[in-house]
Amino acid sequence: MSITLYVPGDAGALALGADEVAAAIAKHAAKLKLDITLVRNGSRGLFWLEPLVEVVTAQGRVAYGPVTEADVPTLFAADFLHGGKHPLRLGDIAALPYLARQHRVTMRRVGVVDPRSLDDYLAHGGGKGLTLARSLPPADIVNLVTDSGLRGRGGAAFPTGIKWQTVLDQSAKQKYIVCNADEGDSGTVADRMLLEGDPFCVLEGMAIAALAVGASKGYIYVRSEYPHACIALNAALAAAGDWLGDFEIEVRMGAGAYVCGEETAMLESIEGKRGIVRNKPPLPAIAGLFGQPTVINNVITIASVPDILAQGAAFYCDLGVGSSRGTLPFQLAGNIKFGGLVEVPFGSTLRELLYDYGGGSRTGRPLRAVQVGGPLGAYLPESQFDTVLDYEAFAAIGAALGHGGIVAFDDTVDMAKQARYAMQFCAIESCGKCTPCRIGSTRGIEVIDRIRAGDQTQIPLLRSLCDTMTHGSMCAMGGMTPYPVLSALNHFVEDFSVVKAPLPQAGEGLG
Amino acid sequence: MNAILNTIFAKHRQQPGALLPILHDIQHELGYVPEEAVPLIARELNLSRAEVHGVITFYQHFRQTPPGKHLVRVCCAEACQANGSEALAAHAAKRLQGEDETLEPVYCLGLCSMGPAIQIDETELHARVTPQKFDALMHKLGEKA
């Protein structure tokens, strides 16, 4: 009988040599005339263990990792195909504390199922939400989503049910569902992992949204930096056949513009234009893609919907704290020992994630600053590590949870430089439509350079500039760039008072 | 070039908002979007040349000149910075000086807990890239070409 092996095809695993490992296993098995079935699953999200190979044995799935090409002969020698002893043997991966302590809902199938197989998806609980949705009137579907307390996971945390209701209330011949997969925030990998590891879940969520609001066409806008996610989605769409009914989904590839993660810039981009932010109103829910009512939801938001339908609004709403209901897949990134994906209900603390899961810094030095929520998120000092992870608690300290990306820095970080980088990133990525963002970011770099050259009188000017950007920008690009800048200034002012020689900045001098 | 363009145009004729997919296909086929293609795209989509030019230049992904033998992108976003991407970027710039490779910064490859990360020729990814590992990868790339 054929032995089934899982070798992740997730981009993270590929970057650590998963293709080479898979090829070596196939070659070795062929040489030994062993009958194996290689499944390229997603990643479980324990990235220090990638490439993580799992073998299906009589005792269940047995994991080995991190496996390199060179380990493959020794694995065969240890009879790993039957769960044999080996220094890399981890046993049942789901029993590892890192995974066992999590509460995976949205990401529960990622790394478990074969992302190319609709049957496997259905066998692991997929599809039930869509089946139920087909038997419900649209308003009931929307109510379920509203009652679940689900809020937009892309960063803005807008209540999903209200957005859907607005689109449902519009009378239009054509409505659209747009899935925002332009995951550009550094430190965030959850969208990518889900798109690559459980693409059918996204398709199902979109099909449910379509039934809820009366849409017949959907777009998934994937950034061009994620070619593997595009491949996974197109493969899933091909495999979906008529499972989605007459709802049609098209995958659209972005082209390296961070600002296209902003929903109206994304609509412009899908329409074939420059990714320039639109004025609101009108809201996209009223006049969105091609002027029609449009639901725009992040990947994780969309992927949360099938379970909310299948298991009920209360199942989701019972998780979490305050007005942050459900779970959030946090992503531990940067200088962290055990980096990866940690899906837990809202309400734990940053400290728990950084130390209990993350194990502190990779370099072994003390953690000094943590940026939460991507390039537009604040830098938090150690004194704020006990902040409860929910949207309101973060807003209260002038920070944002955003998409749940957590980037750790050790004590070698120069926070004035990080503040400068935030301005530089805004200058590179600004769509250019509004002045505070387009010009303010460049002036910001100059002001920080003067401060770093020793001119402390420029600090009030930097604050004033940030005030203008916060209140005068059209969207979060310019409006939230002051978050990292001001948090660096407020919590790490000592880095702004030392006269330093200008350092080369990330990306400067390349290309 | 015209034959390639016509095939691409035909493929996208029924697609609303087809400009980005068309540009992707052209760049995929030719490695870049040549200046001569702009008026043809404009005519196909009933746009002005300025509009097409504006879109090509807005998006960092699209190139107007042919790339080098290989395209090497070094991630320069925060998570990779926390793991030493600036030193790697400086090393890469020095290592590839005078060579026929295109070196570009990229802002996040989604490999944020295993930085610094690089991408070669759009789809090949490498994580935890030290300067030594970078040199080994470039050596291998040189042999492949």
Q: State mean pLDDT over B129-143.
A: 95
- Find the domain containing B111 and state its range: 70-144
Residues B49, B13: one domain? yes
Same-domain pairing of A402 and A328? yes
Residue in chain A nearest B133 by alpha carbon: A16
B63 lies in some domain: no
Contact B85, A335 (CB under 8 A): no
Contacts of B125 in chain A (CB under 8 A): 11, 14-15
A217 in Cβ contact with A334 (< 8 Å):
no
Residue-wise pLDDT for B1-25, tens only, equals 899 999 999 999 999 999 999 999 9
Question: Is there a domain that residue B64 lies in?
Answer: no
Looking at the structure, tell me whether residues B78 and B137 fall in a common domain.
yes
At which of B58, B80, B105 does a domain end? B58
In a domain, A275, yes or no: yes
Nearest residue in chain A measured CA to CA from B111? A12
In whole angstroms, give the CA distance from residue A51 to residue A67: 5
CATH of the domain at B82: 3.40.30.10
pLDDT at A503: 57
Question: Does the residue B130 lie in any domain?
Answer: yes
> Which residues of chain B have a CB within 8 Å of the CB of A14?
125
Write out chain B residues lying below 8 Å of A225, CB-based: 106, 108-110, 119
User: Is the CB of A477 inside 8 Å of chain B's CB atoms?
Assistant: no
| Residue in B18, B77, B102 nearest the CB of A186 | B77
Distance CA A8, CA A135 (A): 36
Sheet containing B70-75, strands listed edge to edge, beginning at the edge strand earlier in sequence: B101-106, B70-75, B118-120, B124-126
Query: Is A332 inside any structural domain?
Result: yes
Query: Does A313 share its domain with A328?
Result: no
Q: Is the CB of A340 inside 8 Å of chain B's CB atoms?
A: yes
Domain count, chain A: 4
Is B142 a residue whose pLDDT tops 90? no
Both tokens of A437, joined, read 């963002």
List, for residues A365-399, the tens digit of each pLDDT value: 999 999 999 999 999 999 999 999 999 999 999 99
Which of chain A's residues have a Cβ under 8 Å away from the Cβ of B76?
506-507, 510
Same domain for A92 and A20? yes
Tell me the CATH number at A459.
Answer: 1.20.1440.230
DSSP count for chain A of H helices, then E strands:
22, 16
Interface check B98 vs A, CB under 8 A: no
Q: Which residues contact B42 (CB under 8 A, 6 or more apart)?
A: B48, B49, B51, B52
Mind listing the pLDDT tens digit for each residue in A114-150? 999 999 999 999 999 999 999 999 999 999 999 999 9
The pLDDT value given to residue A134: 98
10 Å CB burial of residue A68 (0-12, 13-18, 19+) is middle
The answer to whether B50 faces chain A, any CB pair under 8 Å, is no
CB contact under 8 A, B102 and A510: no
Tell which residue, A377, A386, A379, has the closest CA to residue A404.
Answer: A377
User: Which pLDDT belongs to residue B144?
Assistant: 72
Q: Which residue of B has its CA nearest to A430?
A: B58
| Cross-chain CB nearest to A257 (options B18, B60, B79) | B60
With beta carbons under 8 A apart, name residues in chain B contacting A182: none
Total domains in the fold of chain B: 2
pLDDT averaged per 10 residues in sequence order, chain A, 511 residues: 96 98 98 97 98 97 98 98 98 97 98 98 98 98 98 96 98 97 97 98 98 98 98 98 96 97 98 97 97 98 98 97 97 98 98 98 98 97 97 96 97 96 97 98 97 94 98 97 98 85 62 56
> Per-residue pLDDT averaged across B114-141, rounded?
96
* Cβ-Cβ contacts under 8 Å for A328 (sequence gap 6 or more): A153, A300, A343, A344, A345, A346, A389, A401, A404
Q: Does residue A505 lie in a domain region?
A: no
- Chain B contact for A89, CB < 8 A? no
Domain ranges, residue A193? 118-317
ipTM of the complex model: 0.97
Based on the fold, state whether residues B90 and B136 are members of the same structural domain: yes
Determine, for residues B58 and A275 on separate chains, whether the beta-carbon distance falls below 8 Å: yes
- Domain limit, last residue, from A74, A100, A126: A100
